[in-house]
C-alpha cells in the first residue's frame, strides 16, 4: 500500500507524515511544463489580505494563455505558467497592475535561488499619533519611501510594521522619516536579529562610561551603539555573522573585570514600560492642567459670591484688573506649556497635508484664548470691556487631557494578551558547561534571551522550559496547557520535543536548544497575535475615510455656524435678549462655533474597530484560537459553509488495524510478517499502523522474539523478525509492491491488484464492502499473484466531532466533508457525524475546486484542515482554519490556527467573530450618533426652541468621554465566554 504524495514533504513533530488520507489517489501538485510552456515568478507590491491575492489570481487566470496562476500573499509573489505564443511577460505584468497592484518580473536567473538580500520586517514605535488621520499620514509617508514594500501602522499599539529592502533603505532612514513627519520613532526589533538592548548596572561615573565605550569600540562586529545615562540602557547594533549576543555580553562584562553587570531587555517588556510611561506622562499633564484651571473656574463662578475675594479681583493693577492678570497668567501656562502637544501635533498633521483631532483642539482653544486676550487689550484701549472666556480654553484642555489619559489606560489593557505571553518565558536559564568530550563540568545561570542554538540547558522540577528544544537526558511530565490548551501533562523522555514557556512538573531534564528568538513557538504565537492586532479589518476603511474628511467638514460647519449666528444677529433674525450680559453678536456666535469645533470627535470613529480587533485577538489567543488578521476576523462572521477534511481533522488521524483476515492456509503470523516486511520501507501512516499491529502480534505470540521490554522503545523496532524486501516501489494512490523470497508482494487497493492481474473473489469483494460501510478501509494483500488476505484499518472519530457538526447547524452554518477516501467509507463517516454533503475521492487540488464551487454564488466558505495536504484548500477558502497542536503554528495558508487541536474551536472562532463585529457596529452607531446629536446642539440648532446651549468646556467633556466610552465598550469583549456545547447537542451562546 502506497502513501499519498505529500504536498510539502514535511513531517509532524512525532515523525508521522501529516498527510493521513486513506488510500486516495494523489496527483503530483507540481505542474510539469509541456513543450513550449514557460513559468515565471512575479513580485507583487500592495497585497494586504487574501482578497487581494484572490483578485490578482483571478486577473491572471482570466488571461488567454495562462495555464496556472498561484499567488502567495505572505511572499508577495505570483507563480505563473503560460503559453508564450498567446501571452507574454508584459501582459501578465499589466494584468496585475490593472488589478490595482505593482508588479515586477523576477529574473529567471534568480527565481530558483533565494535572494541574498531578502526583505527585512521591522517593528517601530511611533509616538504622537492621536487618531486615524495620524495613522493614515504615517502610513502614506512610509509607503512612499524607496525600498519599503509594505507598511502597516496601528493606533492602538502605537506600532508600525515595515517590510523593506535593507540594500535600499536602512532602519535609521525609516526612523528619520517618522521623525521628519513630526512623530517620535524608534526601532523595537527586526527579523535580522542584529540589535540588542542591555541594562548596564555598575556605572557610577563618566570614567565608567568611557570604559564601556572603549570596550565596544574595540569589539569586532559592533556596528553602532548608544548608551543612555539616565535609563542605563545600552543599545547595540551588531553583525550576527561575526558576533553573538552572549559573546557580546561576556566581552563587555569580562572587559570591565566584572564591574559591569548586564541584563537583556525584552523588546516587548520595554514596550510595556513605554505604555506605562505614556500613561504616567498623560496623568501628570492632566493633574497640572486641572491644578491651574480650577482657580480660573473659581474666579469666574465662585468669587462673585464672596465679597472680599471679588473685591481683590476687581482691584485695578495697571491697565487690567487683578483677576484678569491672574486668569491670563494661569491660562497661558495651560495653553502653551501643557497644551503645547496639541499645537505640535496639529502643525505636524497640517504639514503632512492632513487634519486630525489635535487640529480641532488647537483651533477651539486658540479661538477662545486669543479672543479673550483681544477683549482685554481692546478694553484697555477703548474702555469698553467685553467678557473673557479664559476658563473655556483651560477647562477644554483639561478635559481633553483627561480623555487622553483614560484612552491610554484603556488601550494599554487591550495588549494584555501579548504581555501574558511574554511573561510565560523565564527570565533566566541554567546553561550546562561541557568539555571537549561533551561531559558536563559545571552550570552557569544566564539570561534566557542569550541562549543560542545547540546550548545544553538544565530544567529543574517546577521550572519553566526556557526555549524550544529536544530532551537529551532525563524524563518528566510537562504542562503544555499555556501553549496548546491541553490540560493533561505530557510525558517527555529522550528525543522528545519541548516548547519554551511550558512547565516541567517533576523530574529534571537536560535539553538541547533547537529554536531561539523569533523561531520559537511562543514567539510565533506572539507574532501572530501582534500581527492580527496591527492588521486592519475591511470595515476600518470606512472609519479611515470618514476621518480623512471629518475635520475639514467640521471646520467648515463651524465657520458656517459663526457666520450664520453673527449675520442673523446683526440682521435682526433673533432678539438681543438672547445675548449674555455684556456680550455682543460676534462673541455669541463665536461660542457656538468653538463648541462645534470642540465637540466633534473623529477619535471615537477611529478607535471603534482597532480596539475591538485587539481585544478579540487577545481573547482568541487565551482560548487557543490564533487569528492572523482583522480581515480574517471579519470574514468569519459571514461564513455560510464549513468544509472539513476527514482524516486528522474529523478523525483522530491515528489509523489502527482492526481486522486481519487470511484467505489461504498461511499462518496469521506469517501473513503479518509478509505484509509488515513489504510496508517497512513506507512512511505512510497506514503503513505505520500495519507495522505496529504486526509488532504487537509478534511480541505477544512469541515473547522470545523480544527479550527486553525496553526493546520496544528503541530503534530499530522491527529488526530480527522482518523479511528482506527487494525492488520496493510505492505506487501513489494504489499501494506498494516489492519482491520477498523471489516472489512479488502487492499491498494496496482494488486497482493495484486488478492492474497486476490478481482476481478478487466475490466473497472477498463483499467483505471489502462490509468494511467500507462500517467506516473502515480495506487493504488487499497478494503474494505471487494470489490474493492471500485482507486488513481492515479504521481511524476513530474525534469525540467532539458530532457535537460540533450539530452546533454549526444550529448556528446556521452548513457543514461539508471533503476527503480523498473512497465513497463508502466517506459516507459511513458522514452518516455517523450527521453531515449530509459529502465529497469523496477528492485529491488536494480538487479540494480547492470544491471550495471555489461553493464560492460561485457569493457564499463565504471556511476550510478546516491539518495545514499540510490541505494547504491548497486552506488558501482558496475565504477563512482557512488549520488544526494544529502548538508545535506547528506557523501555517502560512491558514487565517486561523486552532492551537488546542479541538474542533470546538471552530465554533469559538465563528462566534467570537460575530460577537466582535456586533460590538464594532455598536461602537460605530454610538460614535456616529454622538456626532449627529452633539454637533447640532453645539451649533445652537435647538437654541431658538429650548434655549439649549452647550458651553465649550462642557463640549470638551463630552468629546473626551465619547472616545473613552468606545474603548471601554470594546474592552467588554474581554468577558467573552466560548460557546458551551452540551451533551444533548444544544448550543448555548453566552
Q: Name the residues annotated as catalytic.
A: 645
Q: Which three cell numbers stand for residue 517?
A: 528568538
Q: Which three cell numbers stand for residue 681?
A: 520501507
Q: Which three cell numbers stand for residue 926?
A: 454610538
Determine phi and psi for 105, rounding to 5 degrees. -70, 125
Write the DSSP assignment of 89-112 as a string of letters. HHHHHHHHHHTT-EEEEPPHHHHT
Tell me the HSE value of 660 on the side-chain side, using a 13 A CA sphere. Answer: 19
**Rounded CA separation 498/489 (Å):** 12
Nearest to 637 by CA among 605, 602, 611, 612: 612
Could you tell me if 161 and 123 are in contact, meaning their C-beta atoms sit under 8 angstroms apart?
A: yes
CA torsion 802-808-809-810 (nearest 10°) is 110
**Rounded CA separation 855/936 (Å):** 45
User: How deeply is 491 buried, as exposed, middle or buried, from its count of CB atoms within 10 A (0-12, 13-18, 19+)?
Assistant: exposed
**Rounded CA separation 299/331 (Å):** 12
**Rounded CA separation 103/676 (Å):** 53
Helices 904-938 and 585-599 sit at what angle, rounded to 10 degrees?
180
**Rounded CA separation 787/753 (Å):** 8
Determine phi and psi for 486, rounding to 5 degrees. -85, 120
Q: Which residues contact 280 (CB under 8 A, 6 or more apart)?
A: none
CA 800 to chain centre: 27
497, β-bridge pairs: 470
**Rounded CA separation 966/920 (Å):** 9
Could you tell me if 699 and 705 are in contact, meaning their C-beta atoms sit under 8 angstroms apart?
A: yes
Q: Which residues contact 59 (CB under 8 A, 6 or more apart)?
A: 95, 96, 98, 99
Could you tell me if 521 and 502 are in contact, meaning their C-beta atoms sit under 8 angstroms apart?
A: no
Q: Distances from the Cα of 812 to the Cαs of 638, 639, 805, 960, in angstroms? A: 10, 9, 11, 40
**Rounded CA separation 158/380 (Å):** 48
Please give the order of strands across the beta sheet that includes 77-82. Answer: 66-72, 77-82, 38-45, 102-105
Nearest to 155 by CA among 540, 634, 679, 667: 540
Q: Which residues contact 622 (CB under 8 A, 6 or more apart)?
A: 417, 420
Give the length of the chain.
990
Write the DSSP assignment of 843-900 as a string of letters. -HHHHHHHHHHHHTTT--EEEEE-SSTTHHHHHHSSEEEEE--STT---TT-SEEETT
Determine phi and psi for 917, rounding to 5 degrees. -80, -20
**Rounded CA separation 132/536 (Å):** 12
**Rounded CA separation 205/229 (Å):** 10
User: Could you give the residue ranges of the DSSP H alpha helices within 713-779?
Assistant: 750-755, 762-773
Could you tell me if 883 and 897 are in contact, meaning their C-beta atoms sit under 8 angstroms apart?
A: no
Neighbours of 801 (CB within 10 A): 24
Helices 416-423 and 602-622 sit at what angle, rounded to 10 degrees?
30
Whether the ω angle into residue 367 lies within 30 degrees of 0, i.e. cis, is: no
3-state secondary structure at position 312: helix
Whether the ω angle into residue 34 lies within 30 degrees of 0, i.e. cis, is: no
Amino acid at each position: 500500500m502506497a502513501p499519498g504524495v505529500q504536498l510539502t514533504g514535511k513531517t509532524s513533530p512525532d515523525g508521522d507524515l501529516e498527510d493521513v488520507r486513506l488510500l486516495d489517489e494523489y496527483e503530483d501538485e507540481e505542474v510539469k511544463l509541456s513543450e513550449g510552456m514557460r513559468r515565471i515568478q512575479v513580485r507583487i507590491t500592495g497585497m494586504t489580505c487574501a482578497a487581494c491575492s484572490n483578485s490578482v489570481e483571478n486577473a491572471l487566470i482570466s488571461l488567454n494563455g495562462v495555464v496556472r496562476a498561484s499567488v502567495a500573499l505572505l511572499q508577495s509573489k505570483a507563480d505563473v505558467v503560460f503559453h508564450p505564443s498567446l501571452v507574454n511577460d508584459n501582459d501578465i505584468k499589466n494584468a496585475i497592475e490593472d488589478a490595482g497592484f505593482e508588479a515586477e518580473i523576477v529574473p529567471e536567473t534568480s527565481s530558483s535561488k533565494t535572494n541574498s538580500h531578502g526583505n527585512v520586517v521591522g517593528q517601530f514605535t511611533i509616538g504622537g499619533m492621536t487618531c486615524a488621520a495620524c495613522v493614515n499620514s504615517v502610513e502614506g509617508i512610509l509607503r512612499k519611501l524607496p525600498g519599503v514594500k509594505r507598511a502597516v501602522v496601528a493606533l492602538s499599539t502605537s506600532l508600525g510594521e515595515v517590510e523593506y529592502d535593507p540594500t535600499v533603505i536602512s532602519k535609521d532612514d525609516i526612523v528619520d522619516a517618522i521623525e521628519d513627519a513630526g512623530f517620535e520613532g524608534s526601532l523595537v526589533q527586526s527579523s535580522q536579529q542584529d540589535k540588542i538592548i542591555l541594562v548596564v548596572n555598575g556605572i557610577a561615573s563618566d570614567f565608567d562610561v568611557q570604559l564601556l565605550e572603549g570596550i565596544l569600540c574595540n569589539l569586532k562586529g559592533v556596528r553602532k551603539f548608544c548608551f543612555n545615562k539616565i535609563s542605563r540602557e545600552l543599545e547595540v547594533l551588531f553583525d550576527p555573522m561575526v558576533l553573538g549576543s552572549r559573546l557580546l555580553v561576556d566581552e563587555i562584562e569580562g572587559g570591565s573585570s566584572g564591574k559591569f553587570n548586564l541584563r537583556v531587555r525584552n523588546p516587548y517588556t520595554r514596550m510595556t514600560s513605554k505604555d506605562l510611561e505614556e500613561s504616567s506622562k498623560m496623568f501628570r499633564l492632566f493633574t497640572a492642567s486641572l491644578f491651574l484651571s480650577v482657580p480660573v473656574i473659581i474666579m469666574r463662578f465662585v468669587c462673585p459670591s464672596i465679597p472680599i475675594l471679588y473685591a481683590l479681583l476687581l482691584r485695578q493693577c495697571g491697565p487690567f484688573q487683578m483677576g484678569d492678570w491672574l486668569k491670563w497668567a494661569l491660562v497661558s501656562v495651560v495653553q502653551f506649556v501643557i497644551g503645547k502637544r496639541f499645537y505640535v501635533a496639529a502643525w505636524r498633521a497640517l504639514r503632512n497635508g492632513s487634519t486630525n483631532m489635535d487640529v480641532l483642539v488647537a483651533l477651539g482653544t486658540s479661538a477662545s484664548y486669543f479672543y479673550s486676550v483681544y477683549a482685554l487689550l481692546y478694553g484697555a484701549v477703548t474702555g469698553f470691556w467685553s467678557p473673557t472666556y479664559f476658563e473655556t480654553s483651560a477647562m477644554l484642555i483639561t478635559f481633553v487631557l483627561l480623555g487622553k489619559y483614560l484612552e491610554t489606560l484603556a488601550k494599554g489593557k487591550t495588549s494584555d494578551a501579548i504581555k501574558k505571553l511574554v511573561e510565560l518565558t523565564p527570565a533566566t536559564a541554567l546553561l550546562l558547561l561541557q568539555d571537549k568530550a561533551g561531559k558536563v563540568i559545571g552550570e552557569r545561570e544566564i539570561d534566557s534571551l542569550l541562549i543560542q542554538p545547540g546550548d545544553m540547558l538544565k530544567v529543574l522540577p517546577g521550572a519553566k522550559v526556557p526555549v524550544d528544544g529536544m530532551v537529551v537526558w532525563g524524563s518528566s511530565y510537562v504542562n503544555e496547557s499555556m501553549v496548546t490548551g491541553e490540560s493533561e501533562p505530557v510525558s517527555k523522555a529522550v528525543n522528545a520535543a519541548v516548547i519554551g514557556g511550558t512547565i516541567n512538573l517533576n523530574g529534571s531534564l537536560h535539553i538541547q536548544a533547537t529554536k531561539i528568538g523569533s523561531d520559537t513557538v511562543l514567539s510565533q504565537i506572539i507574532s501572530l497575535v501582534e500581527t492580527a492586532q496591527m492588521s486592519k479589518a475591511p470595515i476600518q476603511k470606512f472609519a479611515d475615510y470618514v476621518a480623512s474628511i471629518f475635520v475639514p467638514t467640521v471646520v467648515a460647519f463651524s465657520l458656517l455656524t459663526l457666520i450664520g449666528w453673527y449675520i442673523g444677529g446683526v440682521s435682526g433674525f433673533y432678539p438681543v435678549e438672547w445675548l449674555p450680559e455684556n456680550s455682543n453678536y460676534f462673541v455669541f456666535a463665536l461660542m457656538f462655533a468653538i463648541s462645534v469645533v470642540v465637540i466633534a470627535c473623529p477619535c471615537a470613529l477611529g478607535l471603534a474597530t482597532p480596539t475591538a480587533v485587539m481585544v478579540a485577538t487577545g481573547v482568541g489567543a487565551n482560548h487557543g484560537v490564533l487569528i492572523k488578521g482583522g480581515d480574517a476576523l471579519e470574514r468569519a462572521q459571514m461564513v455560510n459553509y464549513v468544509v472539513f477534511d476527514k482524516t486528522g481533522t474529523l478523525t483522530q488521524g491515528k489509523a489502527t488495524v482492526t481486522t486481519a483476515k487470511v484467505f489461504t492456509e498461511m499462518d496469521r503470523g506469517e501473513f503479518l510478517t509478509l505484509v509488515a516486511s513489504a510496508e517497512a520501507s513506507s512512511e505512510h501512516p497506514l503503513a505505520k499502523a500495519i507495522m505496529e499491529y504486526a509488532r504487537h502480534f509478534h511480541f505477544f505470540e512469541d515473547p522470545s522474539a523480544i527479550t527486553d521490554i525496553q526493546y520496544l522503545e528503541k530503534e530499530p523496532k522491527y529488526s530480527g523478525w522482518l523479511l528482506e524486501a527487494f525492488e520496493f516501489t510505492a505506487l501513489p494512490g494504489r499501494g506498494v509492491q516489492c519482491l520477498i523470497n523471489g516472489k512479488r508482494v502487492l499491498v494496496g487497493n482494488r486497482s493495484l491488484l486488478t492492474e497486476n492481474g490478481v482476481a478478487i473473489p466475490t466473497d472477498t469483494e463483499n467483505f471489502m464492502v462490509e468494511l467500507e460501510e462500517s467506516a473502515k478501509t480495506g487493504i488487499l494483500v497478494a503474494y505471487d499473484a494470489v490474493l492471500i488476505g485482507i486488513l481492515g484499518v479504521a481511524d476513530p472519530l474525534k469525540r467532539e466531532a458530532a457535537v460540533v457538526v450539530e452546533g454549526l447547524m444550529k448556528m446556521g452554518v452548513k457543514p461539508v466533508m471533503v476527503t480523498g477516501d473512497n465513497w463508502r467509507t466517506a459516507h459511513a463517516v458522514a452518516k455517523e457525524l450527521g453531515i449530509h454533503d459529502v465529497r469523496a475521492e477528492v485529491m488536494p487540488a480538487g479540494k480547492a475546486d470544491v471550495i471555489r464551487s461553493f464560492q460561485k454564488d457569493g457564499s463565504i466558505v471556511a476550510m478546516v484542515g491539518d495545514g499540510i495536504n490541505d494547504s491548497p484548500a486552506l488558501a482558496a477558502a475565504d477563512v482557512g482554519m488549520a488544526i494544529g497542536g502548538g508545535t506547528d503554528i506557523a501555517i502560512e495558508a491558514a487565517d486561523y490556527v486552532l492551537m488546542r487541536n479541538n474542533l470546538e474551536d471552530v465554533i469559538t472562532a465563528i462566534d467570537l467573530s460575530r460577537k466582535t463585529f456586533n460590538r464594532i457596529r455598536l461602537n460605530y452607531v454610538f460614535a456616529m450618533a454622538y456626532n449627529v446629536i452633539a454637533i447640532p446642539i453645539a451649533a445652537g440648532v435647538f437654541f431658538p426652541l429650548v434655549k439649549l446651549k452647550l458651553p465649550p468646556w462642557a463640549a470638551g467633556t463630552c468629546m473626551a468621554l465619547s472616545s473613552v466610552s468606545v474603548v471601554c465598550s470594546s474592552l467588554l469583549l474581554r468577558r467573552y465566554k466560548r460557546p458551551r456545547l452540551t451533551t444533548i447537542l444544544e448550543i448555548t451562546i453566552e
